[in-house]
Structure 1
Amino acid sequence: MKLSGLLFIIAQLASENIIEACKCVERNDDIKPYNIIQYANDVFSFMTSNSNTSADFENLSIKELWKSLENWYQEYCPDAYKSLGPPITTEELQELETELGVRLPADYKESLLVHNGGGYPLFEFSECYMDHKNVIGEWELMMDVLEDIGSDDCDGCDFENDFPEIRDVFWSSKWIPFTADGGGQSFFIDLDPTSVGNVGQVGSYDHESGVDMFLGKNFHEFFSNYVRDIYCGKYSIDEWGYLSKHRFLTPESF
């Protein structure tokens, strides 16, 4: 039996809710031998814990979510933990909002007040959580590209995306990147949504394809989902020391 099949059985035994078991167990074809036990333990711990439920993560504050994430980093990725920056200062936060010309959402500011960035890829796709200086730099870079194009709407250009909440534009001055991978991929906070979107929603942007993922109706939802997925066993550390997300597992996989 493949290890993925064994993990699925463990999840079934650990929970009466098979649907939740399917949600929390992942394919592990790409998991390296040194962290297979870690992965199995994380899945089993999540499924048997009364405290690690989706609702519990949703109800945690940003500060509490960071504490949970710090604990996981300390255990499995100490380099990421050591890279976390200090809290943003009042002066730095004022500088950030002034340079961007916006009022940032309270949940994102709360995150910066815990850690003003981190020097290690903290999210999937090698996304680094940027400090305020790098947020400004990345935003200015995209604004320069936007100026070269002529406008965010760019007549004749096709920037249509699959998400009705997010405007079909190349880039917006009200999109605030808070991660970057150094290769044109970033997560951004959208302060200029469509009529069916939410101010402060989170999306993913790729320099070749444009908006390619909708990640949450606000930063808190994005972040709580991420921490939940960490504890759900949806991520492991690959051989390069970066977070790797596993493909989804269903009963039909066996």
Structure 2
Amino acid sequence: MQQYWIRWENWMTQHAPRLLNLLRSGASFESVESLEKLIGTALPPAFKTFYAIHDGQQKARAGLVDADQLLSIEDITAQWYHWKDQLDAGTFTWRDEPIQSTPDTGIKNDWWNPLWIPFTSDGFGNHLCIDLDPAPGGKHGQIITLWHDDSHRAILAPSFEAWLGDYLTALEKGEYIFVKKWGIVHKDTFLNYND
């Protein structure tokens, strides 16, 4: 995963050097192990290697993933607890029936699943997640979308490494730009304006 971080840091050096200051030092083995114990299963090896190099980003308005924060292990844990608390409180039920999502084939139709591990956040309850409990037709470790107020769940990539490679290739092709207020954003987004 080192080569992926080199590519990302090279892009930031050329286009947004201030973002380099947001990178955290690597996550400890203990913090990752603690998260795995919490969720009751192992995280994908590529994800753990990636986080051993940089533990996501510092909290800031500027995000590294299309304006979203790349969460630290501590923040992943906090987001997981937030969703789990809502699940346990019955927030995702209506008249004693589970509220279902409308997922792509390969994703379970839960509103949220404890084995959907959020690793990005827009600050409004929307995430990219690693799906460690796919439905038939899906792949363990696939990357999916999770919206707090929209039922659709989409598969973005078959694995964390595939998602990361696709994102970095898009960066290098110029599909994303740096906007001071928001960080790295897609060049066609409404967030791309002179600030």
TM over 0.5: yes
Structure 1 residues without counterparts, runs of 5 or longer: 1-61, 249-254
Q: 1:95 aligns with which of 28, 34, 59?
A: 34
Q: State the distance in 1 between where 2:30 and 2:93 align.
A: 31
Q: Deviations over 1:9-50 (max 9, x none)?
A: xxxxxxxxxxxxxxxxxxxxxxxxxxxxxxxxxxxxxxxxxx
Cα contact 1:76–1:237 (8 A) shared by 2: yes
1:170 matched residue in structure 2: 111
One-letter amino acid matched to 1:82: N
One-letter amino acid matched to 2:12: Y
Which 10-residue stretch deviates more, 186-195 or 234-243?
Answer: 234-243
Q: State the distance in 2 between where 1:218 and 1:88 align.
A: 20
Q: State the distance in 1 between where 2:34 and 2:52 align.
A: 14
Summarize the Cα distance change of 1:211–1:109 in structure 2 as closer, same or farther, 3 Å threshold: farther
Q: State the distance in 1 between where 2:80 and 2:34 align.
A: 14
Cα contact 1:86–1:114 (8 A) shared by 2: yes
Cα contact 1:180–1:186 (8 A) shared by 2: yes
Q: Deviations over 1:196-227 (max 9, x none)?
A: 00000001111000444321000000000000
1:234 matched residue in structure 2: 175
Structure 2 residues without counterparts, runs of 5 or longer: 190-195
Q: State the distance in 2 between where 1:158 and 1:90 align.
A: 35
Q: State the distance in 2 between where 1:152 and 1:73 align.
A: 43
The aligned length equals 185
Cα contact 2:55–2:72 (8 A) shared by 1: yes
Runs of 4+ displaced beyond 3 Å: 150-154, 210-213
Identity %: 23
Summarize the Cα distance change of 1:152–1:72 in structure 2 as closer, same or farther, 3 Å threshold: farther
2:84 matched residue in structure 1: 143
2:149 matched residue in structure 1: 208
One-letter amino acid matched to 1:230: L
One-letter amino acid matched to 1:99: L
One-letter amino acid matched to 2:46: D
Three-state SS of the structure 1 residue aligned to 2:154 is: strand
Q: Does 1:113 align with 2:52?
A: yes
Shift of 1:242: 1.8
Greater helix fraction, Structure 1 or Structure 2:
1
2:192 matched residue in structure 1: none
Which 10-residue stretch deviates more, 220-229 or 179-188?
Answer: 179-188
Shift of 1:247: 4.0
Cα contact 1:177–1:186 (8 A) shared by 2: yes
Q: Does 1:155 align with 2:81?
A: no
Shift of 1:79: 2.3
Cα contact 2:63–2:182 (8 A) shared by 1: no
Greater strand fraction, Structure 1 or Structure 2:
2
Three-state SS of the structure 1 residue aligned to 2:53 is: coil
Q: 2:16 aligns with which of 65, 77, 83?
A: 77
* RMSD over aligned Cα atoms: 2.1
Larger radius of gyration: 1
User: TM-score when scaled to structure 2?
Assistant: 0.87
Cα contact 2:24–2:57 (8 A) shared by 1: yes
Shift of 1:238: 2.4
Shift of 1:98: 1.5
Three-state SS of the structure 1 residue aligned to 2:169 is: helix
Q: 1:104 aligns with which of 40, 43, 64?
A: 43
Cα contact 2:142–2:158 (8 A) shared by 1: yes
